[in-house]
Structures are given as C-alpha cells and as structure tokens.
Amino acid sequence: MEKRVELLRRVGKRYVLLERVPAGVCTECGTRYYAANVLKMVEEALRRQRPADQEITLSVYSLSR
C-alpha cells in the first residue's frame, strides 16, 4: 500500500526529518519500500541544504553508560 511517511536521516552529526515521503508500506509488518527515484530525491534534498521548513527539539536517551 502506498503511503506518505516521515523519514529520519542522519547527516553528519545531526538528524534531518523528511515529511510526506512516498513509500510502499507492507500491510502485514509495516516494512517500508522506497522507489529508486524517491531515494534520489531524498539524497538531492539533503545535499541542497536549504533552510528547514521548521526546527524541532529532539530528546536523546542512551540505554548504556
């Protein structure tokens, strides 16, 4: 089933959240499948480094110390 999903990617030491990314999603297990052209668009968007549409604060927890 085709859906629009959020995709979290690490870029250097920061994380970037991409919204409304088209993906095939398995109705049984939720596994996401991305078409090659969608992945290319994602990589190009990350390379351009245009100003973000919005910024959010992200809490980070570590389970090992």
pLDDT attached to residue 5: 97
- What tokens appear for 6 in the block? 């959020």
The C-alpha atoms of residue 62 and residue 12 are separated, in whole angstroms, by 19
**Residue extents of the structural domains in the chain:** 2-48
pTM of the model: 0.77
Residue in the structure block whose two tokens are 């095939």: 24
The sign of the dihedral angle between the CA atoms of 52, 17, 7, 44 is: positive
Terminal Cα-to-Cα distance of the chain (whole angstroms): 40
Q: How confident is the model at residue 21 (pLDDT cuts 50, 70, 90)?
A: very high
pLDDT tens digit sequence for 22-61? 999 999 999 999 999 999 999 988 888 778 889 989 888 9
